[in-house]
Amino acid sequence: MANHKSSIKRIRTNEGRRILNKYQHKTVRNAAKRLRELKDRVEAEKLFPTVVAMLDKLAKRHIIHKNKAANLKSGLQVHINGL
């Protein structure tokens, strides 16, 4: 257990951020999965900008790496183009 007051506060802050990051990451994964399961091109094209925005936000906040976000966006675009 931490001895300093600032260390205890930091542990509390990190735990809160970890939970928030985990929630946001899971939400994006679910949205991407939902988009991959779509068979209708028009519906997929409607959902794509929101998923891209979510991925960009995660990359900006360093929850995921920027190249991972780019790879996911590319894969989703390939899926949409194949519909």
Instruction: State the Cα angle at 42 between 37 and 30, rounded to 5°.
Output: 30
Q: Which pLDDT score is estimated for 60?
A: 97
Q: pTM to 2 decimals?
A: 0.86
pLDDT for 47 equals 96
Outline where the chain has alpha helix (H). 5-37, 41-60, 66-81
Residue 2: pLDDT band with limits 50, 70, 90: confident
- 44: closest CA among 53, 55, 52, 35? 35
Q: Cα 76–43–74 angle (5° rounding)?
A: 10
Q: pLDDT per residue over 17-76, tens digit each?
A: 999 999 999 999 999 999 999 999 999 999 999 999 999 999 999 999 999 999 999 999
Q: Where are the domains of the chain?
A: 5-81
Q: Which fold has domain 5-81?
A: Methane Monooxygenase Hydroxylase; Chain G, domain 1 (1.20.58)
